[in-house]
């Protein structure tokens, strides 16, 4: 514990020193800032391009650059439940409510996070699956970690939480590219993209970007009709049911 604290202090000292000595600038661009959800939507793949700008005053980095990209989808409130045996029946017993959890989360880097920065730095910068803040409503309890791990595991199974230590590629020592995969289940809304540059275990530059997932065409029409004109939408759906039923009885009529 003491050692972690000492490293953290050291890291802070080094990073503030490097800021003073003309740090690198990060420049990046997304292949698209808007992902359109149409009726044929089956997920999307975005590309993040960028380069590390240096000038004459920038000190040389012997270890090279490392990059961590974090994509955070719209926040949502989630309940994680655990089944327990109650009177011989497996039923939901304990639960934890997570407020403002990312609906989508991708942690992309060019090598495993532990090789990029120390554990203390990762914690301080909220990078990595284990360090993303997932605030709960109730007071902390010893078993909380189980529920947090389960949440991350279940989200990963559905492709909504992604941890890829090899999805950022340095094309040249200063030029990078990263692939961001959005699964078909990715919710609509705005997504934050945080890009952090590391050298010698220190965060030396950062920049951010954003992208938006929106419904278009029929999807957008149905979704907004259902939300804004509930009664009309319900009547319409019922009418559709009646017509379909009537049509079938006419088409298949035998007598």
Partner 1 sequence: MQIYLPIADLPVNIFLILAMGLAVGFISGMFGIGGGFLMTPLLIFIGISPAVSVATVSSHIAASSASGAISYWRKDAVDVPLGGMLLAGGILGTALGVWLFTVLRSADLLDLLIALSYVVLLGAVGGLMIVEAVRAIARTYQGKPVVLRRPGSHTWIHGLPFKIRFKRSKIYVSAIPVCVIGLIIGFIGAILGIGGAFLLVPMLIYFLRVPTATVIGTSTLLTLVTMGSATIMHATTNHLVDAMLALILMVGGVTGAQFGARAGLLMKPERLRLLLGLLVLSVGLRFAIDLLGQPNELFSIRVVDGT
Q: Which of 22, 75, 111, 206 binds partner 1 (CB under 8 A)?
A: 75
Among 9, 53, 206, 246, binds partner 1 (CB under 8 A): 246
Query: Where in 12-41 is the site for partner 1 (CB under 8 A)?
Result: 37-41
Cα–Cα nearest to 39, from 189, 229, 212, 222: 222
Tokens of 101: 């959890």
Of 8-16, 50-58, 203-211, 213-221, which part binds partner 1 (CB under 8 A)?
A: 213-221
CB-nearer residue toward partner 1: 17 or 145:
145
Residue choice 16, 77, 141, 208 for contact with partner 1 (CB under 8 A): 77
Burial state string for 166-196 with b = 16 or more CB within 10 A and e = fewer than 16: ebbeeeeeeebebbbbbeeebebeebebbbb
Closest approach of Cβ 126 to partner 1, in Å? 20
Stretch that binds partner 1, among 57-65, 70-78, 173-181, 204-212 (CB under 8 A): 70-78
C-beta atoms surrounding 23 within 10 Å: 19
Please report how close the Cβ of residue 249 comes to partner 1 at its closest, in angstroms: 4
Whether residue 146 contacts residue 152, with contact meaning beta carbons closer than 8 Å, is answered with no
- Using CA atoms in the order 168, 170, 171, 175, what is the torsion angle rounded to 10 degrees? 110
Pairing state between β 161-164 and 105-109: parallel
Query: Rounded to the nearest whole angstrom, what is the least distance from the CB of residue 57 to partner 1 in the complex?
Result: 44
Judge contact between 215 and 34, C-beta under 8 A. Answer: no
Q: Which chain residues interact with partner 1 by CB under 8 A? A: 37-42, 74-85, 88-92, 95, 97, 103, 147, 150-151, 153-155, 184-185, 187-189, 215, 218-220, 222-223, 226-227, 230-231, 233-238, 240-242, 244-249, 252, 255
């Amino acid at each position: 514990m003491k050692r972690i604290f000492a490293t953290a202090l050291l890291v802070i000292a080094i990073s503030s020193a490097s800021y003073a000595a003309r740090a690198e600038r990060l420049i990046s661009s997304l292949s698209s800032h808007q992902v359109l959800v149409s009726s044929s939507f089956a997920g999307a793949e975005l590309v993040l391009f960028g380069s590390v700008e240096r000038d004459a005053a920038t000190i040389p980095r012997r270890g090279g650059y490392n990059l961590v990209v974090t994509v955070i989808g719209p926040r949502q409130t989630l309940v994680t439940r655990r089944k327990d045996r109650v009177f011989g029946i497996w039923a939901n017993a304990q639960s934890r409510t997570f407020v403002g959890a990312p609906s989508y989360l991708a942690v992309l880097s060019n090598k495993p996070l532990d090789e990029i920065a120390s554990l203390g730095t990762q914690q301080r910068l909220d990078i990595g699956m284990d360090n993303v803040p997932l605030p709960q409503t109730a007071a902390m309890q010893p078993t909380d970690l189980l529920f947090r791990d389960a949440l991350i595991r279940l989200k990963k199974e559905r492709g909504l939480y992604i941890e890829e230590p090899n999805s950022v590629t340095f094309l040249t020592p200063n030029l990078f590219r990263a692939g961001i995969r959005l699964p078909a289940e990715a919710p609509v809304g705005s997504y934050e993209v945080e890009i952090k540059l590391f050298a010698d275990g220190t965060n030396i530059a950062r920049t951010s970007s954003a992208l938006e997932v929106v419904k278009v065409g029929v999807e957008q029409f149905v979704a907004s009709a259902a939300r804004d004109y509930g009664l009309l939408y319900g009547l319409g759906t019922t009418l559709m049911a009646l017509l379909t039923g009537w049509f079938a009885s006419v088409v298949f009529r035998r007598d």
